[in-house]
Amino acid sequence: MDLRLDGKVALVTGGSRGIGLAIAQALGRSGARVMISSRKAEALEAAAATIEGETAWYAANAGDPDAALACVADTVARLGGLDILVNNAATNPYMGPIIDISAAQADKTVQVNQRGVLLWTQAAWRASMAERGGSVVNISSVGGMSSDGYIGYYNVTKAAVIHLTRQLAFELGPAVRVNCIAPGLVKTDFARALWEGAGGERVAKGLPLKRLGEPEDIAGAAVFLASDAASWITGQTLAVDGGALAS
């Protein structure tokens, strides 16, 4: 299926590496003008050089409301609007049982993973999408559909993203479609502690497709959900997990 996004403007948070960069690259190959955002300017500059077509970058903390507004405004000013928002940025400052997480660690996780999705979507709606329509793609996790002994509170926030997707789809239609991707274990630096070594091999052997995910596996799903091929899809969460939820 040839999914084209010519004439569209996309903004990807957490776009300097891993899943976010793969999505930005795929959007660029499909014809979109792409803005990427993350915290570090040097990483953004290097990442932007790998994206086809017209590309820009803006350093912003995804959990900062003022940064969200400023980045969205810069996207509209530099690239002519905003049609596609990919809420990909995430953080995980704590691993272990959630009964032991500190208030500061819990607050930071919510600030970026959960509240950030809302703030960036609000900014995109008010700056462009309310008038011209668009598509929002949120990146959750299959962890938001199950329980885990290592990253339980991260998964709590990702479960919230799944419901937030449904709520925003209900409120923003028909102008804006809002969908979600729930990746399984993908080989990124962010998730390295979960997949590197024997642990990752055990996970892969237990999957129906017998391999861990690559960032490009998620990127293809994001392009589809952002495109007109998904024009009658909203409020949905697509698990891209190698069959983990079926195991």
Q: Which of 58, 94, 153, 154 is catalytic?
A: 154
d(CA 232, CA 169): 12
Q: Which residues contact 201 (CB under 8 A, 6 or more apart)?
A: none
What's the rounded Cα separation, in Å, for the pair 6 and 121?
22
Instruction: Please state, in angstroms and rounded to a whole number, the distance separating the CA atoms of residues 88 and 114.
Output: 11
The Cβ of residue 27 has, within 10 Å, a number of other Cβ atoms equal to: 33
d(CA 214, CA 188) in angstroms, rounded, equals 8
Q: Under DSSP, is residue 134 helix (H, G, I), strand (E, B) or coil?
A: strand
Q: Which residues contact 236 (CB under 8 A, 6 or more apart)?
A: 165, 169, 179, 180
Residue 154 known to be catalytic: yes
Pair of tokens at residue 85:
């928002």
Other C-beta atoms closer than 10 Å to the C-beta of 34 total 31
Across the strands, what pairs with 58?
37
**Longest Cα separation, the chain:** 50
Terminal Cα-to-Cα distance of the chain (whole angstroms): 28
**Residues identified as active-site:** 154
